Chains A and B, each alone.
Chain A
Amino acid sequence: MTATDIRPTTAATLDTKAPRKPRNMGQIIRWLLLFGGGILMVMPIAYMISTSLKWPWEVYNVNLIPEEPTLENYIYVLEDGRFYWWFVNSMIVATLTTISALFFDSLVGYTLCKFKFPGRTLVFIAILSTLMIPTEMLVIPWYLMSQSFGWLDTYWGIMFPGLMTAFGVFLMKQFFESVPDDFIEAARIDGLNEFQIWWSVAMPLVRPALAALAIFVFLGNWTAFLWPLIVTNSTDMYTLPVGLAGFGDEADVAWELIMTGAAISTIPTLVVFLIFQRFIIRGVVMAGLKG
């Protein structure tokens, strides 16, 4: 008993003396794996930026540092009027979809979480089960529907499938579970109607979830490719990913231009992430309840 007790203590003392020394093989392997994972994540981005700084003749070389770095591609892309349109289109679509999804997902999630009504579980299961149907399978019905309603080649046509998401409903419902009923009942006694309770009591308490959902939905719509490609016809209605994919002429894909456009288009996603991530890290302070 005593003998086994002494060992960890000694090890701990040694550790504090040489904190940087890896404790064992396991730790080295863990670091290597993480390092490898990090490289895997960063490489495509590094290549995207590197390619955007290359001349066309160098694009198919694997070197990471361009031999003759140039900003020519950026100038070309920014001077090409189409890029602005695509950027604006993407911005409109992603922003409106995000607002709509945040609103409806949390409204439905709240209702499913805090109101007891017959068929509640059934509705929830029905919403969840739509998660199992892949987009690829839905685009044809969506297309036919858009065609018959005259939504082809419009913003509404690009946006309507994403205005409410099953995943968001699920996420928000789970988060509203953590909002104590006392808050809601107190507000009810204070004379708020159900919509006001949702908006001014429940919503502020799930801000981190809203922030996470905002990031997901915005990124999802900003990078959406398949559906916008199918529903849009005119170059003016393209979103960024659709437009960028077609950069260059029919015969030759201009990778340096595509990569330049892609590099520029990551900027808004970074901004969105930086804005909302703050809320996620801060977390919910449940200080209104007992300490």
Chain B
Amino acid sequence: MAELSLHNLVKRYGNTEVLHGIDLTVTDGEFIVFVGPSGCGKSTTLRMIAGLEEISGGEIRIDGRVVNNLEPKERDIAMVFQNYAIYPHMSVRKNIAFGLRSSKMPKADKAKRVEEVADFLEMTEYLERKPAALSGGQRQRVAIGRAMVRDPALFLFDEPLSNLDAQLRTQMRLEIKKLHQRVGSTIVFVTHDQVEAMTMADRIVIMKDGHIQQVGTPEDVYRNPANTFVARFIGAPSMNMISADATASGIVLPGGASIAKAATQGPVTLGIRPDDLRPVGGDGLLTGTVAVTEPLGPETLIYVDTPAGEMIAKASGRTPPLVGEQVHLDADIADLHIFDRASGLAIR
């Protein structure tokens, strides 16, 4: 159980600054997911929280205590690595017990604790095996076990699922969520997979180039992205972006349609999620020809060439438009996102 707070956290390697002042407060028991493209500084932030990387500026507090100069072991944290990092020369039991090595617990209690953790992870029958004889998912479970066994205040995960295949990833995602519900610890989880972020997080932290772009619940960052980067990064397929001009009378789209919704004037970017863009019988916002269709079962994605560029829209799976057909696309005005084109910031 712990509250974690980062104040103006800065990281420099030599003269290059890779984190430019991160501010974040994670409340006790919260599941926070850091997400962002490769190289944006997610791992660096996590490693600074863990104490594996020196802090160039700012402050990290765990439960109100400044931990900047504490060793990793003094921070009451546990970390699970992308490559599992379980020791090949030790059995599963020894690997899990390894997390307790420096604890003062009596030996019998330690053994019991290992059994409990193994039981929770359904790894009891594998306790005597060496990692070489385990599957990828089982190895990752051992790594989680080693982290759990100490009952740390704060769990740190650095892309723990990225080496697993799609099916196993979905399963482990669920198990980590269950783990969180059961032990109630604070969790900071790093991933570059926005689906993982959306499904697991209480709150998502979206990062880019060493800056936080937005912090919010999955619902929040999906519904109200703070800028075009977040808008495009969250949600699959990505949000359609249309360059348009806002005038006093409304926003004029390429192709001529206009919307009577403008809180601003000047060049704007109009964002519409593929989910919200549907083929309609009448006029709609945009008109174009279907270039490609991707049937997904209940629905079909259609890629439409319009005067505003290629748009992705969703059509019903039963009677999708055919390739080459002309379609009109429309969206609810409430579902449109408007961004300032120069700064990329959302206009609300």
Contacts and interface: CB of A to CB of B under 8 A. Distances in A.
A288 B99 contact: no
B58 interface: no
Contacts, number: 86
Given A192-B101, A192-B102, A186 B81 contact: yes
Contacts of A285: 88-89, 130, 132
B163 interface: yes
Contacts of B73: 188-192
* Dominant SS among interface residues on chain B: loop
Interface stretch (A16-24, A45-53, A162-170, A177-185): A177-185
B37 interface: no
A188 B83 contact: no
Contact of B85 (A180, A191, A192, A204): A180
Contacts of B83: 180, 182, 289-290
A288 to B, nearest CB: 4
Interface in A187-207: 187-192, 201, 204-205, 207
Given A180-B83, A182-B81, A182-B83, A188 B72 contact: yes
A122 B131 CA distance: 38
Give the bracket for the number of chain B residues in contact with chain A: 20 to 34
Contacts of A289: 83-85, 88
A286 interface: yes
Given A183-B85, A285-B88, A288-B88, A190 B102 contact: yes
A189 B101 CA distance: 11
B136 interface: yes
Interface in B112-136: 130-136
Contact of B88 (A182, A191, A205): A205
B50 interface: yes
B86 A288 contact: yes
Nearest to B88: A288
A205 B139 contact: no
Nearest to A290: B163
A191 B81 contact: no
B84 A288 contact: yes
19 contacts: A182-B81, A182-B85, A185-B50, A186-B146, A189-B52, A190-B98, A191-B73, A192-B73, A201-B87, A205-B88, A285-B88, A288-B84, A288-B88, A289-B83, A289-B88, A290-B136, A290-B163, A291-B139, A291-B163
Interface of A: 180, 182-183, 185-192, 201, 204-205, 207, 284-291
The 6 closest A-B pairs by CB, nearest first: A191-B102, A287-B132, A191-B73, A288-B88, A182-B85, A290-B163
